[in-house]
Amino acid sequence: MSFFKNKYFIVFILLLGGAKATFAQYESRGKEFDFVDADYFFFNENYYDALGLFTKLSNSYPKIKDYTFKKGICYLELNNADQAIEAILNSKKKKKKPEDYSYYLARAYALNYQFDSAITLFNEALNTSNVSSKLKKEIPHLIEQCNNGKDILKNKLNVTTVNIGIPINSSNYEYSPVVNADESVLAFTYRGEKSVGGRQNKYVQPEGNGNYFEDVYVSYKKNGKWSSPELLAGEINTNRNEATVSISPDGQVLYIYRDTEFNSGDLFYVNKTANGWSEMKELSINSSSWEGSISVAPNGSFAIFSSDRPGGLGGRDLYITQKEANGVWGTPKNLGDRINTVYDDDAPFIHADGITFSFSSKGHNSIGGFDIFESRLINDSTFLEPRNLGFPINTTANDQFFFVSGKGNAYYSSSQEGGKGLYDIYVVDASEIVTNSPVLLLKGNTNPNNCKITVKNLKGEDRGSYKSDPNSGNYQFYLNLGEEYKVTFSASEEKTKTLNINTKELSKYTERTENINFDEETVVNTVPDEIPPVKSDFDVEDPENFDVFIKKYGDKEVEGVVFQVQVGAYLNPKNFKSRDWREFGELKITKGEDGLTRFVLGNYHDFNKVNQVTTKVRRLGVKDAFTLVLYKGKFTSLNELIAKGVYTF
């Protein structure tokens, strides 16, 4: 994230709606400097300050149509479509049009959702010598986005956005909001008169006609109201750009982008300590290229980040990195061409379930600029086909940094009409829009503070490590539904307490409060020496047990048990690539409660048969095909059927 070209701030001057003249524009140094300063701002993509000066120049010199034309481009880049169209149309001088006229007018019509008019003008721009070859290269994709927009606007979402209001929003820029799990801590990026360093040039030197840089602010919800935002304490905010990127569910780790002197920008993090926030520490994933955003899985096991490092598919690409046993991030891996496109792909966000993730892209079926998409992790190299979240979440402008709490509230920034300033922070209930799986938010307080918390399932598999707040003792983290957990709180090696948490009976987002108090005089140790086994100690996932299962039940039919082969699961079923599946049986299409449309083959009654079909399908290129197990019409697993006594050993 950053103010300058090819870095993040440009994203935010292209968000929703039209700019409002509430933020103090640059004050003219005198008419002899107006054109020089206007062109300087325009060249550096500071369209807001440039707009004020070009408006003044076009009023003073109406015959110089270049001023009117550049005023129109400023309105366009600030997403004020109506005024952009008016100014660009008025920039013609008799029959003479400014250079690149039809290109910019087409973009203004597209911004205004007048897609047919935009397509006509884009085609005109392709066939005229008055548009530069550089801009012509963009036009086929812009036409594609117009056609996407025509399709997506047919199914408008029924959602209401709410301005988070004062004291968070002001007449300046507030954007890129991130919140902790229970939405009690909000960090965001601010840019305006209070920016550290004031107006500066691109060399980070004070300059009267310079730009304001970004700072990180934080607010806390008290009695249902947000406190007055404070500059994040410590040596975090400098004269350079520092901007919010992500926050851990417990609010104790904040991820920040910072301009760097030799690199174009890197990612850092700060930890909450008993004395405030720690010094900024650089993430090991940084390279000599730009790294601009990151999202870490709620349990800390992996992260997805954006970079323009060499070897990608486009400008900005998304990469995944796994946390290794020693706590170091592993070698990053490109997410591949199902997620990344030849255009920019950026701003990842991993949802509370640790499986679903959102990101922004100019590719796929975006309707203008960046759109927000959703996908799911199958493994670190396989992902579901991305789904456009739809209108009005996505607009003809850039839409990015969609940060969703476990209960489904999405925080984002917008310049839509009716706001407090140029860019405001908004909240929308996205629980019916996103298709992430529900989770349990376990939270509470520990005494003493700063307890270590480890989570394992009944098989002893690690499900995350956390700690309570070093000041308040508060803790909170997400647990996926469908498992039983052992949650161990450790005040010291001798003092531990364990909670048994069963989420198998839950089916929707739930919050559970458990306060942990240690008796200072009595050592309480409720941790068993070994994690108890599951109801059945016969785990079919063990290779030896699987062989036993095959010998006993591989070719036998069991009443009520049916097997199918899943050959695809998509948020958008149009993305399924059809073929002739008749040799394997009937292809069925089902819509699940999780929002996924599944494509499945056959109804097989013995495991050997379905296993052969699954193997053949994978050889045909469907590498993520797998066997589904149904019992009396409901999805289950072999281990669950063993636990229920359907299969006995």
Task: Indicate the SS3 state at residue 523.
Answer: coil
Between CA 28 and CA 51 the distance in angstroms is 12
> Does position 20 have pLDDT exceeding 50, yes or no?
no
Other Cβ atoms less than 10 A from the Cβ of 6: the count is 14
Between CA 354 and CA 151 the distance in angstroms is 31
pLDDT at 524: 43
Half-sphere exposure of 207 (CA within 13 A, CB side): 14
33: confidence class by pLDDT, cuts 50, 70, 90: confident
592: confidence class by pLDDT, cuts 50, 70, 90: low
pTM for the model stands at 0.78
pLDDT at 580: 73
169-173, 275-279, 526-530, 574-578: segment of lowest average pLDDT? 526-530
Mean pLDDT value of segment 477-496: 92
> Does position 593 have pLDDT exceeding 60, yes or no?
no
Domain 439-517 has CATH 3.30.465.10: no
> Does position 474 have pLDDT exceeding 70, yes or no?
yes
pLDDT at 481: 93
Q: What is the pLDDT of residues 402-443, one digit of tens each?
A: 999 999 999 988 766 566 766 789 999 999 899 999 999 999
Mean pLDDT value of segment 33-50: 89
pLDDT at 523: 40
pLDDT at 525: 45
Residue with structure tokens 């996924």? 596
Q: What is the pLDDT of residues 190-249, one digit of tens each?
A: 998 899 999 888 888 898 878 889 999 999 998 889 999 999 988 899 999 999 999 999
pLDDT at 13: 37
Mean pLDDT value of segment 565-593: 75
256-265, 436-445, 466-475: segment of lowest average pLDDT? 256-265
Architecture of domain 9-155: Alpha Horseshoe (1.25)
Mean pLDDT value of segment 375-393: 89
Q: What is the pLDDT of residues 64-102, one digit of tens each?
A: 999 999 999 999 998 889 999 999 999 998 778 999 999
Between CA 513 and CA 507 the distance in angstroms is 18
231-245, 297-311, 440-454, 617-631: segment of lowest average pLDDT? 617-631
> Does position 10 have pLDDT exceeding 70, yes or no?
no
Mean pLDDT value of segment 534-549: 75
> Does position 599 have pLDDT exceeding 90, yes or no?
no
Q: Which CATH superfamily is domain 161-429 in?
A: TolB, C-terminal domain (2.120.10.30)
- Domain 9-155 and domain 439-517, same fold? Reply is no
Q: What is the pLDDT of residues 145-200, one digit of tens each?
A: 999 999 999 999 988 888 899 999 988 889 999 999 999 999 999 998 899 999 88
What DSSP line would sit under 184-232, residue for residue?
Answer: -EEEEEEESTTSTT-SB-TTS-B-TT-BPPPEEEEEEEETTEEPPPEEP
Q: What is the mean pLDDT of the chain?
A: 87
Name 372's bridge partners: 360
What DSSP line would sit under 398-450, residue for residue?
Answer: -----EE-TTSEEEEEE--TT-SSSBEEEEEE-TTT--PPPEEEEEEEEESSS
19-33, 271-285, 460-474: segment of lowest average pLDDT? 19-33
Which has more confidence, 594 or 467?
A: 467
Between CA 449 and CA 469 the distance in angstroms is 6
Between CA 38 and CA 10 the distance in angstroms is 18
Domain boundaries, the chain: 9-155, 161-429, 439-517, 543-643
Give, in order, the Cα–Cα distances in Å from 236 to each of 269, 281, 282: 10, 10, 12
Percent of the chain with pLDDT over 70: 90
pLDDT at 241: 93
pLDDT at 535: 42
Mean pLDDT value of segment 383-412: 91
Q: In this structure, are residues 421 and 22 in contact, taking their beta carbons and an 8 Å threshold?
A: yes
Q: Quick one: tokens of 529?
A: 């020496």
pLDDT at 44: 84
